[in-house]
Amino acid sequence: MKKEEHKTGIFIIVALIILAVCLGIIIFRVQYLLLARDQVDTSARTYDRYYAFITSDDSDFWEEVYESARDYGENYDVYVEKFGSDLSAGYGEAERIEIAVASGVDGIIAEGAPKSALKKALKKADAAGIPVVLVGEDMRAVPRISFVGVGQYDLGEMYGVQAAAISKKLLNSKDKVRITVLSSSAKPGEGEKLIISAIRKVISSDEDLYGRASVDLYPIGDDGLFSSQETVYDFLMEKDVPDVVIALTEELTVSTYQAVVDLNLAGVVNIIGSHDSDAIKSAIKNEVIYSSVATDTTQYGEYATYALEEYLKTGNVSEYFAVDNIVLDVPTLMSEDES
């Protein structure tokens, strides 16, 4: 009898434990799920200032620059937003600047371009008392507080040195070498003109190349949707393809590389590209791209945010911040991998 009572007692205790565990699971789980919703809100952070980062495209290059600018801003209680990039309507750069102005941002980082709409938008920003830092390309007669970019002439010289090295190798087997510079705009801006000028200077000043290597410009343009890639393809399908192609943007570099592979022109057309994306690095290692001139995107973004911060704090800022460039070729990438 006692034994049975003991068993019953154990059974009741076990049953109560199971019940308690079940109830515990429900309470825990439901509370957890409900709290999980609220926690999304609590993790949000607020900032003191708000800058708009506006460029003409969403290339990896500008993405890297933006991330650098944003990360730098985090340290100064600044939120840098890639403004209007996720809006459903495909607004151009000028429109997005106008939206930023209407939104009352504290500063604007915008990519410069010789466009009147952009100028107009930037003037509106100035009228609203919003400081603007230009990146990529500087613009004249525009009320900007600073410009952050690479030294175009220095950049041109770097392209020129790379082009000269390839040309010399090619002249061992042929009489003349043709170097074509692909620019992203239909009408070259001041920066592009400076780059071409520097390339020509380097080529012409080399005795081995004098009179045997020519440098010309092929404006690809960015007016139509997907037009640049198609234009590059058409260009390389022409009968007389250049020996060396210098692509001045990341997009042009990838488009040229892809066209060379597709048209079986590897070894015929030597590419000197821009930027250091993984795809470009991979192409250099595969020796489809000879080399690439990459800009320090981290420095780029940091300078842009810093320029606005400095201006808002002190009312003054340096007019120009030069960003460093480096040449990426097979040996440098190999040593980078080794390190």
Partner 1 sequence: MIERIENSSIGKKLLFIYAITSVVVLMLNIFVFVNINRLVKELDSVFLTNINIGEFSSSLDKVHTQMLGYLNTKSTDDIYGYYEAYQEYETQISLLSDEISSQSTKRMERNIRSMSENYLLLTENAIDAKRGRNIEKYRNYYEQANELYGYLKTYINNLNNEYFKNNSADYLTLSDSLGYVEFINMFVFVTVSTVSIILVIILANRVTRPLKSLADVAEKVAEGNYNVTVQPVKTMDEIGVLNAAFDRMLTGIKQGILMEMKLREAELKTLQAQINPHFLFNTLNAGAQLAMMEGADRTYAYVQAVADFYRYNVKKTDAPVTLADEIQMVDTYIYILNIRFSGDVGYEKHIEEGIEDVMMPTMTLQPIVENAVNHGIREIMGEGRIVITAENDGAECVIRISDNGRGLTKKQVDDIMHRRTRMKDEHGGIGLRNVMERLFLMFGREDVFEVESDGPDMGTTVTLRLPKDGNLALEDMEQGGDESIVSDNDM
23 binds partner 1 (CB under 8 A): yes
Residue 46 makes CB contacts below 8 A (sequence gap 6+) with none
67 binds partner 1 (CB under 8 A): no
CA-CA distances (angstroms) from residue 321 to 7, 150, 259? 84, 8, 35
Q: Which stretch binds partner 1 (CB under 8 A): 24-32, 212-220, 233-241, 291-299?
A: 24-32
CB of 36 to partner 1, least distance (A): 7
C-alpha span between 232 and 235 (Å, rounded): 5
> Collapsing DSSP states into helix, strand and coil, what is residue 59?
coil
Please, which residue, 124 or 201, has the CB nearer to partner 1? 124
Judged by CB under 8 A, which of 3, 86, 211, 267 binds partner 1? Answer: 86
C-alpha span between 123 and 144 (Å, rounded): 9
C-alpha span between 133 and 125 (Å, rounded): 11
Q: Which stretch binds partner 1 (CB under 8 A): 4-12, 219-227, 250-258, 260-268?
A: 4-12
CB of 47 to partner 1, least distance (A): 4
* 82-90: long-range contacts, CB 8 A cutoff, minimum separation 24: 82/53, 82/54, 83/52, 83/53, 83/54, 83/108, 84/52, 84/54, 85/58
Judged by CB under 8 A, which of 10, 13, 30, 237 binds partner 1? Answer: 30
In the stretch 95-114, what mask flags binding to partner 1 with x, by CB under 8 A? x--xx--xxx----------
C-alpha span between 286 and 121 (Å, rounded): 44
- Give the binding site for partner 1 (CB under 8 A): 1, 4, 8, 11-12, 15, 18-19, 22-23, 25-26, 29-30, 33-34, 36-37, 40-41, 44-50, 79, 81, 86-89, 91, 95, 98-99, 102-104
